Structure 1
Amino acid sequence: MGLNRREFLKIAGVSTMLGLGGMGSIELLAPGSLEASGEFPAKGAASGIRYGMVVDMRRCAKEEGCKKCITACHTTHNVPDHGNRKDEVKWIWKEPFEAAFPGQHHEYPDVSKEHPFIVLCNHCEHPPCVRVCPTKATFKRPDGIVMMDMHRCIGCRFCMAACPFGARSFNWKDPRLGLDMNKVNPAYPTRTRGVVEKCTFCTERLAQNKLPACVEACPEKALVFGNLHDPNSEIRRALRENHTIRRKPELGTRPSVFYIV
C-alpha cells in the first residue's frame, strides 16, 4: 500500500531523528570547539577532504542589498528566472535571520536582524535527502558534496520533502523559458522540466582548481570555502578564531555551512 505525503513526512522525520541522533536545540560553536568536539581533525591531523563554507555575516552586511554572489551563481549555472515565486528556482538566496534560524533567534538577541542571511544547500554530513531518493539521483560524494544527477531524477520530490532547509527547487516549467538564450553559459548544461536542482558547491569549477562562483564574486570576501579536514586551511582558521552557528542543529544533519554572526 502506498504512502500519502503526510505519512511519508512523518516517517521521514522520525527516521531522520532516530538515524542521525539529536543534538542540542541551540548550537554555539566557540572558537576551536570543532577540534575539541572531534568532528574535524585536530591541528596536524588532516584526513581526506570534506568541503565546507563559512559565511561571515559581519562582512556580508557591509554592502546593503548586494546580490553579487547570487547573480554569479545563477548566471554560471543557467538558473532560470520565471518572474514569480511559484516557479522560482534558486541555488543561493537570502532569508531573514528568523526564517534561516527558526528557534534560535531568541538565543542571539545581539545578532543584526536588519540584513538577510545568505542561505544555500548545507551539504550535510548526514543528508536526509540522500536517504530518501529512490533512484539515487541525489548522492553524497567522498568529499562531502551532496550532488544531483538530473538525468536520474524522476521528479518524485522526496528529497525536497526530506530536506529541512528548503535548499532544493523543482522545475515546474521548462527552465529554458526562464533564460535569455543569448546569455546562456555554454559550459554548464541547461535542465529539463520535472527535475530537482540545487547548489553543488560548483564542482565543475573545483575540478579546474577554481573557487565556487559565489565565493569568487563576493566583494567583501564574506564567503570562505575550503577543506574542513585540513587544519591549516583558511576555513578551519576562520572556525578556530570565530564563534559560529549552523542552521537547525537539533536535527543532527551536521551542515557543512557555518555562519559567523
Structure 2
Amino acid sequence: FNGARYDNRVVSSLAILFILIGLLGLLAPKHQTKMLNIVAYFSIAIILFLNIANIVYYGIYGNVFDENLLEFLHEDTLTILKMSGEYPIFSGFSLFVILSVLISFIYFKLQNALFKPKNIHQTTKPLKTFILFVLFSLTQMFYINAQLSFVGASLDLSIEPAKDPFLMKITPGAFRNLYLLTRNYRQSHNLKFSDFAKETPLEVAKNYFHLKENPSNNLYELLSQTSHNDSLQTIQHVFYIVSESLSSWHFDKKFDSIGLTSALQDLVKKEHAY
C-alpha cells in the first residue's frame, strides 16, 4: 500500500501526459490512436525497465539506485558481461522483455474491447465530458499531492518505513531513486564556496585559524599551487584499500595490465586479505 502511494505520482504524471497527447491528437484524428498507443507502450516499458533494474541493482550493490550507478554506466562491455554471469542481469532483462510484450498485448486487447466506437456517428455529450474531466482532475490531484488538497503531503514523513531492509529501500520506487540520484549529481557538480559559507575564503581562513591580521600571502594563489616531489626516493610499495566485495573478474588476467589483480591474488594466497 505504501509503495502504491509513491507509485500514484508516477501514474498520475504519465496519465496527464497521455491526456495531453490525446488532445494534441485531435489535430490529426487519423493518427491519434497510434500516438496514444506509443505513449502507452513507452509508459509500460519505462516502468518495467526501471523497477526491474532497481531490484537487480539492489541484488548487486545492496542498495537502490545510488552513486554506484554512475560508475556502472561507465563500465566497459566486457566488465558488464562478466558481471552478468554472476548476477541476474540477463535474466532481469529477459523478464523485462517478456512482461513488456505481455502487458502491451493485454493493453491492446482491452483498448479494442472498451474504447472501440460502436457508432461512427457517435456524439460527445458535454455534461458527461465535464463530469469525467472533474473526476479525472480530482483523482490526479489526490495522486500527486497524496491527499485531496492543492498542497502536497510529504510521504517520507507520513509513511512508516518497513522493517524489512529490502522493502524499506525499494518502497519509494525507482523513479524517485533516480530523481534523487540526478538531483544530487547536479548539485555536486555545481557547488560553490558560497554554498558552505557566507564569508569570503580569506575571511573563513582568518576566522578558522584565529588570525588577528590578514595572511600576507594571496589565498587564491596558494589554493592554485600544486605540489611536486623533488625527493630522490622512489616508491617501493603501493597499498590498495579495498572497501567492497570483489567479483571473480577482479582477478581475471585480462585486467592485469598494471599488476593489480596478481597483487590481489598474492594477498589472498598469503592470507593477508579477506
Tell me the TM-score normalised to structure 2 length. Answer: 0.21
Higher RCO, 1 vs 2 (CA within 8 Å, ≥6 residues apart)? 1
Name the one with the larger strand percent.
1
Of structures 1 and 2, the larger Rg is shown by: 2
Name the one with the larger helix percent.
2
Tell me the TM-score normalised to structure 1 length. Answer: 0.22
